[in-house]
Structure 1
Amino acid sequence: MSKVFTLAEVSEHSTNKDCWLLIGGKVYDVTKFLDDHPGGDEVLLQSTGKDATDDFEDVGHSSTARAMLDEYYVGDIDSATIPSKATYTPPKQVQLNQDKSPGLVIRLLQILVPLLILGVAVGVRFYTKSSA
């Protein structure tokens, strides 16, 4: 029967002399592997004290790397000691114009602004021709 650890117990092992990782509900003592890890020991040390499953999976480890975990296995985690992951809930969007039809002011602006721009362009052109 395997030993069951709490997250607090696993978190105590977070140095380069004593490094444990929690991956997929299992606890691994990777201290002897720190010097051999292709990504360096810092990558592993940054993943201590938490559930490192996502960190491990995001890298896309090979089947060989996954098989190597077996030799570092020391026990299982008490899942009740792992905080649940918070899920992101986006804020509710405020609907300012619920009727979907533009108001009278908007419709007037849609007509008057282009006419104003056209008038200014014609005025500038006329002014530059008469000045020359």
Structure 2
Amino acid sequence: MASDPKHFVFDDVIKHNKTKDCWLVIDGKVYDVTPFMEDHPGGDEVLLAATGKDATDDFEDVGHSDDARGMMHKYYIGEVDKATVPKKRAYVKPADSNYNHDKTSEFVIKILQFIVPLVILGLAFVVRSYTKEKSA
């Protein structure tokens, strides 16, 4: 860690929420994880989902290895003023437009966009046929 760490307010940290510019707050420390985005074993989506909040709980809940914890020092860029970090976080969509916050596969979304209207049309046809038979 640097001998004289830089200090950030939370509002400045949360602006870095893109794949090409991603900062995280963990235990009051600010990390620029941009160079690690492609190499993160959980994928860049995990890191992007941790922006805009104190990601300490997210980091701890995963149970990172000692090796992962040891890597953190190279991404450390300073400290966050803890008084500026909100207790609760409203969802803020990361700036990357292709980010899929609910982790739904794009393939699944496309399939559903195709199948759901067909199912609705099929049901409408069945109901219409059934009601015609009843009235005849």
Report the TM-score range of the alignment, normalised by the length of the smaller protein: 0.5 to 0.7
Query: Per the alignment, in what secondary structure is the counterpart of residue 76 of structure 1?
Result: strand
Number of corresponding residues: 86
Q: Name the structure 2 match of 1:80.
A: 83
* TM-score (norm. length: structure 2): 0.61
**Structure 1 residue 84: deviation in Å?**
2.8
Percent of matched pairs sharing the same residue: 64
Q: Name the structure 2 match of 1:48.
A: 51
Is 1:13–2:16 an aligned residue pair?
A: yes
Q: 2:38 aligns with which of 32, 35, 46?
A: 35
Distance 1:79 1:16 in 2: 25
**Structure 1 residue 26: deviation in Å?**
0.1
Q: Name the structure 2 match of 1:23.
A: 26
Distance 1:46 1:25 in 2: 18
Is 1:59–2:62 an aligned residue pair?
A: yes
Deviation above 6 Å: which 4+ runs of structure 1? none
- Gaps in structure 2 of 5+ consecutive residues: 89-136
Over the aligned positions, Cα root-mean-square deviation in angstroms equals 1.3
* TM-score (norm. length: structure 1): 0.63
